[in-house]
Each structure stands twice: as C-alpha cells, then as structure tokens.
Structure 1
Amino acid sequence: MASLVGLFILSGCAGAPPITSVNGLEVVRSGDLPAPARADLVASDRPSLVGPLDKLEISVFDVPGMDTEALVDASGRISVPLIGAVDVRGLTPQEISDAISSRLSRFVRDPYVTVNVLESTSQAVTVDGEVETPGLYPVTNQMTLMRAIASAEGLTEYAKLEQVIVLRTANGQRMAGVYDLGAIRRGAYEDPAIYANDVVLVGDSPMRRRFQDILAVAPLLTAPLIILFQNN
C-alpha cells in the first residue's frame, strides 16, 4: 500500500513543469524577494456598487438628527430624513452622497454628506463545485480567482485544477472563462480578477475518484496492485 501511494505521488509530481521566468513573472531562486513599492500594495480601482439588502451609514455634517443607518430594500431604495425615498441601486457610495446632497440642499444650505457601506450582501461571488465550503463570499476590489477559492477553504481532493470555470455577464452577454489553477500557481499567467455576481465552478476529476475507490478495495486483494496513470 505504501508503494502504491508513493507511485501516485511521484506520478503527480512528474507531470508538473519547473517554475521558470516568463513574460510578467520573474522567478527568484536565491535570496529574499524585494519589498513591494507603495503602488504595488494598492489594487486597481473597481467601483463598489450598492445593491439590495446592503446596509449604509449616512452622515450629514453639522445637521442634528440627520445621521442614520439605512438598509437598502429589495427595490434598491433607502429612506432618508427630510427627503424620503432615494433610489441607490447600482450607485457608488460617493454617487449616493451626491444624490442626497442635491435633494437635501432644498432644506439645508451646502450640506456635507458622507455615505459608508457597513455591510454588503450584494457584492458577492458564488463559489461552487469541488471546494471545501461552497457558498457566497464578499467581493472586494482585490478579489481574484485564487482568493475566491481560498475563501471557500480551498479545493477538495477530487478537484480538477485545469477545469475551473468562471461565469460572468458582461455588457448583457453571458460568458464563461476556463482557467487552470496549476498554470496560475506556476506563474504561466496572472491570477484573474473576480467581480461581484461572478460564479466560480471547480470541476471534478473522475480519475482521482476512481483511485480513491481502488484504495478502498486494495486491502482486500491478495496480489500486488500496480497502477499506471496519465494526467487527467
């Protein structure tokens, strides 16, 4: 049994090419990686849009009684003192602030309004398939495919690395991208960005499942068992 498991491990390792420098990736084989510059620590801007069931904090400077917390209803609206219902669906916090300021200016001179998102349920990605904890996970402007899978506590033992699908609607068109996590880990191409409403599906490896079934039966066999594998 130990030899069988060792064969499996060696077979899996033999198929992985060595990590080498490619366009956009420099491999450092000795010494420490250089420290990132400040610009490297800031993700590219992705607007955070407000949607139904998000919770907002609204503050109006120097106007007593105007500070409030508001829950976006299913139609995408909130209720604000003095001005009533405001449609905020699909707006950024700054755009909501501007909309409230514009309507509030009829009652308050030069209102200074700030809007912060306290809780967001609309900005989420669905991670499903061969991950440890499928579900909905919050999306930030730094979310990537690898981070989305890590949020779901990683892959199961049956996950198929080369068959990870991202479903997305872009400009009204439903699209699917197919990614190879092994290639991303080797630096063959960048870890792709993940956006709100994306669906990440991790495929299943039938070969790994068959191997697990064989291991379960192996103790019952009286003769040695030799398995030859191909990458699957």
Structure 2
Amino acid sequence: MPLPGADDGVRASRVAYIGPFTELRVEVFGVPEMQRDVMTDGQGGFTFPLVGALDAGGKTTNMVSEEIRSRLAGRYVRDPQVTVNFKSPTSAYSIQSMTVAVDGEVKKAGAYPVVGRVTLMRAVALAGGTNEFAKLEDVVIFRTVGGKEYVGLYNLEAIRRGNYPDPEVFPNDIVIVGDSPQRRRFNQLLQSVPALLSPIILLASEMRK
C-alpha cells in the first residue's frame, strides 16, 4: 500500500474521536462539583468522580456522555444530564486524524487511536480480536493517498504463518475483517480473489469498473 503523505494525515474526518492525551470538559448539569476538565491517559482513558475509570479511547464525546449518564442514573444523580466536549476545536481536529477504524467480523468494531507504530494485526487486536466465524483470509484495508483511494487485500492467517510481513496501518485507514456493509460494494471482485499468500493492492476506481 502507498504510504500516506502529510496532507493525507491531516485530512478532515466526518467524526471526531477521543484519543490519548486529549483534553475534555465534562459537565453534569446542576452538579457544580462534577464539572471539570480532564485529560485522557496514553490509552485514551480517564477517571471521573462516582463513575470510576472510563475507557474513552476510540469513542465519540456523545458515547462517553451516555456512559457517564448511565453509571450515575438512579444511583447518585436523578436523571443526570451529562455533556462531554473537546476543550478546543484544534484538540478535536488532531484526534480525528489519529485513529484507525476497524469494522466487520471483530468483537468490538470502532475507531482506535494510532499511537506509535500500529500494524494490521495490532489494529485487529485493539478491536478485541476476530469473532468465532471471522474470515481471516478476507481482510481489506482502505487508504486514501493523494486523493486516490487504494484497497489492500490481506490474509491474517498468511501473516501469522510468516508468508509476508504484518503491514503497518495509519491514521484514517479503514480495516474491514470479513463481511460488513461497507465492503459489499467490492464483493464481486473480492469473491474472485483466492485466499491470499501475498497482499494485493488495487485502486478503488479500477475495482468499480
């Protein structure tokens, strides 16, 4: 797969996700002592009063708001109204470009922070690993470089056997294991590709012809 350039690394994303060392403002309406600024740790987590540890990495602020609300409801605060926001637009922007999305036949699909060097196998592990019926020979990476969308076809079993190196993934990549709605647009071509002993890299525009 072509490596992304600087311009590709900062392209806008549709959704902002929380990552490591992210400054957030958490507020529980009507409870002044539960309005505070927090910073996530190296894994994207933080602790909050009466709630405990929260694993916020790879989640949106709305998802974290709902998690805090559900933990407080009925136990500590009656009908809590919780908001979680990035402390500044620049903080949200930087987090957007530092995640890889993992979808398909994995245990916990979502967007995960890219901290240091992250390989395909590592990205799948961040998503909880594959589920029981995952098609390990059918893994796709989508990547946009220089305005062109590339598709890489990989076989996790072949990587585990050492047939070829575990490829690095980058922020804004999309990894899909086995079946998912997003990859079905390429089903006709992908079904004609045998179980891979080496990766295949194609331009998405060529696959649509």
Q: Same fold (TM over 0.5)?
A: no
Question: If the length of structure 1 is used for normalisation, what is the TM-score?
Answer: 0.40
**Bigger relative contact order, structure 1 or 2 (CA pairs below 8 A, ≥6 apart):** 2
**Higher alpha-carbon Rg:** 1
Question: If the length of structure 2 is used for normalisation, what is the TM-score?
Answer: 0.44
